[in-house]
Structure 1
Amino acid sequence: MTMQIIRNARIIDGSRDRATDSQDIVIENGIFQEVSDKVSLQCDNEIDAKDHYVMPGLIDCHVHVIATTADLKANADLPNSLLAYRMMALMKNMISRGFTTVRDLGGADVGIVDAIEEGLLVAPRLVICGKALSQTGGHTDYRGRYNPRSVDYYRDQIGAMGRIVDGVDDLRRACREEIKGGANFIKLMANGGVSSPTDPIGFLGFSVAELEAAVEEASNAETYVAGHLYTDEAINRALDAGVYSIEHANLIKRETARRVAEKGAVVVPTNITYELLGTRGADFGLPPESIAKVADVRDAGLEALSMLHEEGVLMGYGSDLLGGMQQYQSGEFPLRGRFLPAHDVIRSATLDAAKVMRMEGQIGCIAEGAHADLIMVRSNPLDDLSVLDGQGEHINAIMKDGRFVKTI
């Protein structure tokens, strides 16, 4: 790959409330090689960014690339071939919005990761947990009360977000199988959820012994556990067991937020999904029993943002959208901006998102040695976060691994 130099870049990465002074950025072999006030090197491939703000490629810490409809039971029954093509379209749209890395929280497998790495599809870098793990009747058990189908049916369905495991031994085996299959981390459904039929929000998923077993298996493999968690009780159980990444956390209380920060755990709020589920869930195929649960978490999640920020909790950007709602992935930016400073919101999708994913220094920054992922915008997002909203129409250039997906 030839050398590229981006000159006169005013960089915004969320580390402060203003852009840097003009910087030159040297890129070679898909990596940022140098970032400095003035680069003396010359090359044939130079871009003048004087009329743009340059940002690291955006990171979404909570997506479901296989969720092509909000009715996840129906999604699990779709043919694998159809799911594969729909998933390709979803991921192409994600990178078109400036997201160059996404973390999938249930469903995507290593084959999709390899296809992206081989350049077979235009998509963000994909970090996966494989199938999310749920107990019988928990979140991702979409069979409902009247479906007698064995859970084994769903093992080979791309559209199935999770797999059902019960007991410490089965849970250990499932963790080992997912890691063997290419999972970068483990996902546990440790609380009830909106989209599944038989688990109220307050439902506690897995025994403490099962939670601890999963954390031990992840630790043995030098990785971590992310937990689907809403209620204060469930979050505290998870923290006791050593769960690192708290997904959602809508009903968390201040004392528990303080405990999250003290333990060095992280939270990934996903409020845009509840905004949409509460107002348009039926339009996107969400079953009535799921719509009825949304009110339990929608307003509380927004109120929790300020409290988590005040207690110093590291928060990653997350959308968690399903099916047709995924077009609103970037809506989390202005939504959080109602409660948090703009640079903190941006940092949640750059520097802090990289920390959440334990990829600090590799993504989410424009610095020597990191993947050459970036976006360019004409308007300053620190003044107006809506610049990052929409379908990428305000983003003039997108680069992933040193290659432009969209050029100015």
Structure 2
Amino acid sequence: MTQIVLENARVFDGVAEECPEGMSVLVADGKIREVSDRPVRADEAHRIDVGGKTLMPGLIDMHTHSYFSDLDPRVLNDRDAPYRTAYAIKKLGHALDSGFTTVRDIGGGDYPLAAAIADGLIRAPRFFYAGKILSMTGGHVDYRTPNEKHHTHGYCSCASMNWAGVIADGVDECIKATREELRRGAHCIKIVASGGVMSPSDPIWMNQFREDEIRAIVQECAERRTYVAAHCLTSESTRRSVEFGVRCVEHAALIDAETAAFVAERGAYVVPTMACLFSLVEQGLEMGLPPDRMDGLRTVYENSMAGLEVMRSAGVKIAYGTDLLAGFYTQQTREFELRREVFTPLELLRQATSVGAEILMQPGKLGRVTPEAYADLIVVDGDPLQDIGLLAAEGRNLDLIMRGGEVVKNRLD
């Protein structure tokens, strides 16, 4: 692979507040090989003058759903795989153009999509996926309406599923479903541990899965040297999930101070998803969201900003996530604008880079500008430590995007 030297750069390394200027970064074989405050010797390298602009790690979105092309998840079963894949290609391409060089698909993403990305068939960010979401009967990913008696989709007689999830009840079924998703290449396992606003039969306050079921799933993941992420909206579901071994909580919009302190003490992570909530409240009805879901959605929305304040005060480790569905995916960088009401630009930059890498169990490889990290880099025209809004423009302020050492956008040459 051709060597590339990025010269005259102001570098944010993913962690440090100080951003040294006049830096050079050598990239070869998909990795960063050298970061120096002096000119790098590489006679055969292609040299790019960054012009004093900010070079930083590519962004990481820790909560995406690549196939979720409609607000009604039941519609997606009828659309089938070709339609969902076409949507995923468009959505993932937009993510890359917006500066996201890594995404975690936390429900629905699968091995075929990951393989197509790895083989270069799809223009997309680096791709981690949780496979099918695990739900109990009547849980957040059981999309049957109350008048339906039977599951209509399944890959075997022992577990039923729809396009996004697997229904598992009892320890044995939870173990089997976990092992099956891990066999299919899932990088982690996602469970639903509270009710939600997008499913027909579970109120938000409802805790889901028993303690023995959650602990069984956690143990299976531990044996595979990976982790469990859990959909939790309420404080109670968040606390019990973390207590039972869940490593990463998704949403936590209704979290209270006591629970936030507990999460911080246990060293667990939280991935809030503000952009999804705000976009659904603003445009959900016109995009086809059933009117009877709006009350619950507004309850979560009205408390979500307070939840961010509570978690920041408690010192919870927070990563960047969006959870954008259907046509809302074009607002992927809006999360920066929403969170800036609570967090400093430095905190937001860490959330979108090095903290996400920690959850993915890729510290030092992703989310950093350091030797031996993957060469997933962006160049920002300006200083995001002073104006985080530079990253909230869907890539318009990015002069260079590099993924795995491959330049996918370049306005510098």
Relative to the length of structure 1, the TM-score reads 0.96
**Which residue in the other structure is 1:375 paired with?**
378
Count of aligned residue pairs for this structure pair:
408
In structure 1, the partner of 2:121 is 120
In structure 1, distance between residues paired with 2:161 and 2:110: 8
Task: Report the CA distance shift for 1:29/1:157 in structure 2 as closer, same or farther (over 3 A).
Answer: farther
State how far apart, in whole Å, the 2-side matches of 1:118 and 1:268 are: 29
Local SS of the residue matching 2:286: helix
Native 8 Å contact 2:345 2:386 kept in 1:
yes
Deviation, 1:39, is 3.5
- The structural deviation recorded for 1:8 is 1.1
- Displaced runs of 4+ in structure 1, greater than 6 A? 154-159
Structure 1 pair 344/406, CA: closer, same or farther in 2 (3 Å)? same
Give the corresponding residue for 1:404. Answer: 407
CA–CA distance in structure 1, aligned partners of residues 161 and 135 of structure 2: 16
Q: Which deviates more from structure 2 when the two are superposed, residues 315-324 or residues 156-165?
A: 156-165
Deviations 1:95-143 (A, max 9, x none): 0100000001100101111111111110011111100000111111111
- Distance across 2 between alignment mates of 1:39 and 1:185: 41
Q: Please give the alpha-carbon distance, in whole angstroms, between the structure 2 residues aligned to 1:290 and 1:403.
A: 43
CA contact (8 A) 1:60 1:99 kept: yes
Question: Normalising by structure 2, what TM-score?
Answer: 0.95
Question: Which amino acid counterpart does residue 98 of structure 2 have in structure 1?
Answer: R
* Kept in 2: contact 1:14–1:345 (CA 8 A): no
Take 2:362 and 2:80, find their aligned partners in 1: how far apart are those partners? Answer: 34
Partners of 1:343 and 1:46 in 2: how far apart? 29
SS in 2 for 1:78: helix
- Contact kept? 1:376, 1:395, Cα under 8 Å: yes
The alpha carbon displacement at 1:216 in A equals: 0.7
Alignment-derived partner of residue 105 in structure 1: 106
Structure 1, residues 317-345: CA drift from partner, whole Å, max 9, x if none? 00001010111111000110111111101
Contact kept? 1:154, 1:160, Cα under 8 Å: no
Q: Deviations over 1:198-219 (max 9, x none)?
A: 1111111111111111111111
Give the deviation of 1:272 after TM superposition.
Answer: 1.2
The counterpart of 1:247, out of the listed 239, 245, 250, is: 250
* Alpha-carbon distance in structure 1 between the residues aligned to 2:161 and 2:58: 28
Indicate yes or no: 2:133 matched with 1:132. Answer: yes
> Which residue type is aligned with residue 236 of structure 1?
R
8 A Cα contact 1:14 1:344, kept in partner = no
d(CA) in 2 for partners of 1:269 and 1:254?
Answer: 15
Q: In structure 1, what is the Cα distance between the partners aligned to 2:173 and 2:93?
A: 36
Cα separation, partners in 2 of 1:390 and 1:160, compared to 1, 3 Å: farther
**1:253 & 1:44 partners in 2: Cα distance?**
53
CA contact (8 A) 2:14 2:57 kept: no
**1:273 aligns to 2:272 (yes or no):** no
Contact between 1:78 and 1:159, CA under 8 Å: does it hold in 2? no
What is the root-mean-square deviation of aligned Cα atoms in Å? 1.7
CA displacement, residues 366-401 of structure 1 (integer Å, 9 cap, x when unaligned): 111111001111121122222111321111111000
1:165-199: CA deviations, max 9, x gaps? 11110000000000000001110001001111111
State how far apart, in whole Å, the 1-side matches of 2:135 and 2:340 are.
Answer: 33
Verify the 8 A CA contact 2:21 2:52 in the aligned structure 1. no
Distance 1:157 1:406, change over 3 A: farther
Q: Distance in 2 between matches of 1:157 and 1:208?
A: 22
Q: Which residue matches 2:398? A: 395
Q: Is the 8 A contact 1:75 1:159 kept in 2?
A: no
Query: Is the Cα contact below 8 Å between 2:272 and 2:321 reproduced in 1?
Result: yes
After TM superposition, list the pairs within 5 Å mapping 1:9-88 onto structure 2.
9-42=9-42, 43-88=44-89
Deviates more, 1:17-26 or 1:344-353: 17-26
Note if contact 1:66-1:158 (Cα within 8 Å) is conserved in structure 2.
no
3-state SS in 1 of match to 2:138 = coil
Alignment of 1:217-228 (within 5 A): 217-228=220-231
Task: Please give the secondary structure, in 2, of the residue aligned with 1:188.
Answer: strand
Structure 2 distance, partners of 1:231, 1:356, is 21
2:208 to 201, 205, 210: 205
Could you tell me which runs of 5 or more consecutive residues in structure 1 were left unpaired when the two chains were aligned. none
- In the aligned structure 2, how far is the partner of 1:390 from the partner of 1:198? 37
Give the AA of the match of 1:8: N
Assess if the C-alpha contact under 8 Å between 2:151 and 2:161 holds in 1: no
Offset of residue 146 of structure 1? 2.2
Partner of residue 260, structure 1: 263
- Judge conservation of contact 1:142–1:196 (CA < 8 Å) in 2: yes
Q: Distance in 2 between matches of 1:14 and 1:368?
A: 13
Structure 1 CA distance for aligned equivalents of residues 262 and 310 of structure 2: 13
Amino acid of the residue matched to residue 11 of structure 2? I
In the other structure, the counterpart of 2:320 is: 317
Q: Decide whether the 8 Å contact of 2:68 with 2:325 is kept in 1.
A: yes
Cα offset, 1:16, TM superposition: 3.9
Q: Which residue of 1 aligns with 2:346?
A: 343
Residue 295 of structure 1 aligns to a residue in which SS?
Answer: helix
Q: Gaps spanning 5+ residues in structure 2: where?
A: none
Residue of 283, 286, 289 corresponding to 1:286:
289
1:157 Cα deviation (Å)? 11
Corresponding position of 2:2: 2
Match of 1:326 among 300, 309, 329: 329
Distance across 2 between alignment mates of 1:124 and 1:158: 27
Contact 2:22 2:52 in 1 (8 A): no
1:25-45 deviations in whole A, cap 9, x for unaligned?
000000000111113403340
Please state whether the residue corresponding to 2:134 is helix, strand or coil. Answer: strand
Distance 1:396 1:27, change over 3 A: same
| Counterpart check, 1:150 vs 2:151 | yes
Task: State the SS of the aligned residue for 1:79.
Answer: helix
Q: Bigger CA drift: 69-78 or 27-36?
A: 69-78
Mapped partners of 1:74, 1:287: distance in 2: 13
Q: For residue 38 of structure 1, what is the amino acid of its counterpart? A: R
Does the aligned pair in 1 maintain the 2:107–2:131 contact within 8 Å?
yes
CA–CA separation in structure 1 for the residues paired with 2:405 and 2:14: 21
